Amino acid sequence: MPKLRKFTDWLLFADEDYLAVAKPAYVATLDDRSGRPSVLALAAAHYPDVQVCHRLDKETSGVLLLAKHNAAYKHANSQFASRTVEKTYHAVVDGRHTFSGLEINLPLHVAPSGVVRANNKTGKPSVTVVTTVQQYKQHTLVACTPVTGRMHQIRVHLAARNAPLVADTLYGGEELYLSAIKRKYTPKAGTAERPLMPRVALHAYALKFRDLAGNEQHITCPYPKDFRTLLSQLDKNR
């Protein structure tokens, strides 16, 4: 796990009621068995009554909304429940794809093992809208708007369209090495080559919601270093 910056350095937005942070990869949203500090625990050191309004998977980086008090939490929670919060994720997927507002509508079922599969009989309704942002030689950067919020939804939906996420080996994605995209590149003798991005290539890029005053807040989160490095290498080696 990389060294963490100060929690206050994560802030993307703050007012009297809410704060949004740039959650780093490998930091859990809520406390888990690892014993490492979660986003909630770190936030509570500054805001005693803080509550998390939604969750991001531990490996996923990006914008995460928290409420500073219970009234703000209930207000945000009602928006998530009614699906009026707009979330946008950016992902790098295997293959070249041209998606233009593609709606992927596949019911998803979570197995006891934690693996998620499309299943028309036992799955819960799940919808994701996907648009191509940038194509590279053998990969594509896509923007995904999940209408529903199922576990692993974006990962499974894209895999079903033959576009699994880079490094998402659970759902058919492949780890990406520089030697696979850069001509005449070989790693140093005696050293094992590391993947350009060792985690699933998924980033919570933007979130749009209404604050307690009814104003629309649109928050974006810059790419973290590993995501920037991946895109930079794909761009250089088109």
Two tokens, residue 182: 């850069």
The residues spanned by each domain of the chain are: 7-236
Torsion of the alpha carbons at 115, 121, 124 and 130, rounded to the nearest 10: 80
Contact of 230 with 180, CB cutoff 8 Å = no
Q: Which residue has the tokens 């991005």?
A: 197
Q: What do you get for the CA distance between the two ends of the chain, in Å?
A: 31
Write down the catalytic residue from 15, 17, 57, 211: 57
**Cα(92)–Cα(77) distance, integer angstroms:** 29
The pLDDT tens digits for 174-219 are 999 999 998 888 888 878 899 999 999 999 999 999 999 999 999 9
The pLDDT tens digits for 139-181 are 999 999 999 999 999 999 999 999 999 999 999 999 999 999 9
**pTM of the entire structure?**
0.94
**Cα(90)–Cα(121) distance, integer angstroms:** 30
Architecture in CATH of 7-236: 2-Layer Sandwich (3.30)
Q: Which residue has the tokens 């919020």?
A: 149
What are the beta bridge partners of residue 127? 105
**% of the chain beyond a pLDDT of 70:** 98
Contact of 19 with 66, CB cutoff 8 Å = yes
Q: Which residue has the tokens 């919601």?
A: 209
pLDDT band at 33 (very low <50, low <70, confident <90, very high): confident
* 51-52 and 18-23 beta bridge pairing: unpaired
Give yes or no: 57 in active site. yes
